[in-house]
Amino acid sequence: MAAVSGALALSALAVPAAHADGTAHGFSFPSLTKRTAAPADDAEGDTTISSVVVNAGKPVVLGTTSKLTVKVTLTANDPSGIYDADALLYHGTYPNAVDGAETSVKACGAKNAATYTCTLTYSFTSKETVYKNGLAGTWKVAAYAVGQDGDFVEKDALKTFKVLRTSKVTVNAAPEPVKKGRTITVTGSLTLANWETHKYGGYAGQKVALQFRKAGTTNYVNVKGITSSRTGSLKTTVKAAQDGYYRFNFIGSPTAAPVVAAGDHVDVK
- Confidence band for 27, pLDDT divided at 50, 70 and 90: low
- Confidence band for 105, pLDDT divided at 50, 70 and 90: low
> Is the pLDDT at 180 greater than 80, yes or no?
yes
- Confidence band for 4, pLDDT divided at 50, 70 and 90: very low
pLDDT at 107: 79
- Confidence band for 101, pLDDT divided at 50, 70 and 90: confident
- Confidence band for 99, pLDDT divided at 50, 70 and 90: confident
> Is the pLDDT at 38 greater than 90, yes or no?
no
> Each residue of 81-90: pLDDT tens digit?
999 999 999 9
Average of pLDDT values for 3-17? Answer: 33
Are 29 and 106 within 8 A, CB to CB? Answer: no
**Which residues contact residue 249 at a Cβ distance below 8 angstroms, ignoring those fewer than 6 apart?**
169, 208, 209, 211, 220, 258, 260, 261
Average of pLDDT values for 18-46? Answer: 54
Please give the model's pTM, rounded to 2 decimal places: 0.86
* Strand 244-250 relative to strand 259-260, pairing: antiparallel
* Strand 233-239 relative to strand 244-250, pairing: unpaired
> Is the pLDDT at 244 greater than 50, yes or no?
yes
- Confidence band for 34, pLDDT divided at 50, 70 and 90: very low
CA-CA distance, 157 to 92, in Å (whole number)? 11
Q: Which residue has the higher pLDDT, 125 or 11?
A: 125
